[in-house]
Amino acid sequence: MINAGRIHSLNQLEYQSGSVVYWMSRDQRVRDNWALLYAQNQALKYRVPLKVVFCRAPKFLGARKQQYAFMMEGLRQVSQDLNLLHIPFHWLKGDPEKEVPEFLNRTRAGLLVTDFDPLKIKKRWKEKVCMNVSIPVADVDTHNIIPCRIASDKQEYAAYTLRPKIHRKLYEFLEPFPELKPHPFSIQTGSADQTGEKIGTDDLKIKETGDRTQFFQSGEKHAFSVLERFIREKLDHYSRDRNDPAKDGISGLSPYLHFGQISAQKIAIEVMETDVNEVSKESFLEELIVRRELSDNYCYYNNNYDSFEGFPQWARKTLSAHRRDPRENIYQWEQFENAETHDPLWNAAQMEMVKKGKMHGYIRMYWAKKILEWTSSVEAAVETAIALNDKYELDGRDPNGYTGIAWAIGGVHDRAWFERPVFGKVRYMSERGCRSKFDVDQYIQQIERL
Ligand SMILES: Cc1cc2nc3c(=O)[nH]c(=O)nc-3n(C[C@H](O)[C@H](O)[C@H](O)COP(=O)(O)OP(=O)(O)OC[C@H]3O[C@@H](n4cnc5c(N)ncnc54)[C@H](O)[C@@H]3O)c2cc1C
């Protein structure tokens, strides 16, 4: 059984006839996927075929070839695994708000299931799809452990206000996943249902251009190996090592979580069952569950999650009061992008992101705060940080990114600190502070060697 709290109807239409389609978008996996399980459940109930469709939107939020290559490799594995279960995978290219309804109407589908995403662009796609189809559409939250709409019905102030709400419902939703079954109802040869493309060689050309990152291998299988290695070698020391960018002490799971190649719920279950240092376990679960789901809460309930207007009132007031403060250094986009600031630590962080496709979590805070310090306005700082993050991070274009940047620059989910130039009462970070926490020179040397 799938907890009904995960399922949200996007329109009030009744099922009549036709196959069930899962429009896979945020959660690109076959295992441990409540949206796919729900879609199969409905297809079995109506005794009809089940298919999965993915629509590749061009230039999604500034994504580059590296990120598309990572995604495509993962989707290729998805299509192979679905094939073994007799579930066809259909591949569309173009604007999803146009392509998805066209596909559903052409193939005379009877029910659409999709996965939850709090980002504005995804909400808009779904609204447009609903306007252009006459079948029921269900949105299933398979990214969060506690579905975002159920965890809270409003924008939360900080982690301490969301945490008790999550803990109260955790054991209701943290249930083991059933297996997806080979699907018994297949599509009739020659029927309208048969249309749809396979992932073609054109789409895989990306791979041949050498744009794949050498640091992360894509797909569900690799996601599980990264998880196993993290549990075996790093989890025990997570609380000690996680804030040290010179040590490889964090999980490295964010690219897989971002593309939905692994389920956070599955990770949480595996970690809870492991016998390791309790403090480390708690600290990892706090990041994986509370902080991650707090980001979805912020983006879902605050449409200005990617701009100054989204910041809390105290932060807007204090940042506005310091607009005219003199800045010692002001850099332009190219200087940031090419890591040409006066600060070797900032440059190393930027290069880590560009070369690896993933910057260490602790240094991300410093990186974003310095962009505020070295740009002419807070609006320009937010824009620059988001554009760089979305362009270079494998895990970018994600609620965690918009919320992390809003935390660093705009005091979101944080409190007021001592007043100082440019930042006002927004928390400040200095290079000296970093030196007291970890070996800055060792980190810089490691990045130079990449
Ligand atoms: C300025 C800034 C930008 C950020 N941009 C992104 C981004 O684009 N994409 C992204 O996924 N995360 C982002 N984060 C959050 C965090 O830094 C990363 O999730 C983390 O570093 C990913 O590495 P990991 O999986 O090895 O982390 P681990 O420490 O192993 O954490 C495991 C998982 O917990 C979650 N998590 C950890 N820290 C946070 C956090 N602070 N907020 C929310 N969830 C968290 C992530 O899903 C992460 O994969 C950003 C943070 C800041 C301050």
Name which of 174, 270, 263, 269 is nearest 230 in CA terms.
270
Name the domain boundary from 301, 336, 352.
Answer: 301
The CATH number assigned to the domain holding 171 equals: 1.25.40.80
pTM of the entire predicted model: 0.96
pLDDT classification of 199: cutoffs 50, 70, 90: low
Residue 154 and residue 103 in one domain: no
Residue 158 and residue 252 in one domain: yes
Q: Is residue 186 part of a domain?
A: no
Residue 316 and residue 396 in one domain: yes
Residue 274 and residue 338 in one domain: no
The CATH number assigned to the domain holding 374 equals: 1.10.579.10
pLDDT tens digit sequence for 59-96: 899 999 999 999 999 999 999 999 999 999 999 999 99
Residue 148 and residue 282 in one domain: yes
Name which of 264, 44, 299 is nearest 145 in CA terms.
264
Residue 110 and residue 154 in one domain: no
Name the domain boundary from 142, 164, 194.
Answer: 142
Greatest alpha-carbon pair distance for the chain in Å reads 71
Q: Which of 370, 400, 409, 434 to mutate to test the pocket of ligand 1 (most atoms within 8 A of CB)?
A: 400
More confident residue, 186 or 223: 223
Structurally, how many domains does the chain consist of? 3
**Which residue owns the Cα nearest ligand 1 atom 43?**
292
Residue 119 and residue 35 in one domain: yes
pLDDT tens digit sequence for 346-401: 999 999 999 999 999 999 999 999 999 999 999 999 999 999 999 999 999 999 99
Domain that holds residue 432: 308-449
CB of 391 sitting under 6 A from ligand 1: no
Q: Is residue 171 part of a domain?
A: yes
CB of 267 sitting under 6 A from ligand 1: no
CB of 319 sitting under 6 A from ligand 1: no
CB of 408 sitting under 6 A from ligand 1: yes
Q: Is residue 173 part of a domain?
A: yes
CB of 381 sitting under 6 A from ligand 1: no
Q: Is residue 51 part of a domain?
A: yes
pLDDT classification of 186: cutoffs 50, 70, 90: confident
The CATH number assigned to the domain holding 71 equals: 3.40.50.620
Residue 348 and residue 283 in one domain: no
Q: Is residue 210 part of a domain?
A: no
Beta strands in 36-181 (DSSP E): 50-56, 89-93, 111-115, 137-140
Residue 134 and residue 165 in one domain: no
Give 220 Cα–ligand 1 centroid separation in angstroms. 19
Beta strands in 25-93 (DSSP E): 50-56, 89-93
What pLDDT was estimated at residue 189? 58
Instruction: Say how far apart CA 35 and CA 30 lie, in whole Å.
Output: 10
* Apex 360 CA angle, 212 and 365, nearest 5: 130
Name which of 342, 226, 242 is nearest 283 in CA terms.
242
